[in-house]
Amino acid sequence: MPELTDFLEDLRCSACGTLDSLWLYPVRGVVECRECGSKATILSVYGGEA
């Protein structure tokens, strides 16, 4: 089963367009762009009961 971070590979930041610069902070539920600092909150049911 793929890791949650595997879904961020080959994605671009919607703010600055940089490829492969997204980092996941799973405890905070935040994805951050290391290039421009833009952040997005995520909701995940990954690995849980649906």
> Are 35 and 16 within 8 A, CB to CB?
yes
Q: Residue type at 11?
A: L
Ranges of each domain in the chain: 4-41
Q: What was the pLDDT predicted at 37?
A: 96
pLDDT of residue 43: 83
* Pairing outcome for strands 39-41 and 22-25: unpaired
What confidence tens digit (pLDDT) does each residue in 3-50 have? 777 888 999 999 999 999 999 998 888 999 999 999 999 887 766 555
Q: Which residue matches tokens 């961020």?
A: 8
Alpha carbon 14 to its chain's center: 12
Is 33:24 a contact under the CB 8 Å cutoff? no
Residue 1 in this model has a pLDDT that exceeds 60: no
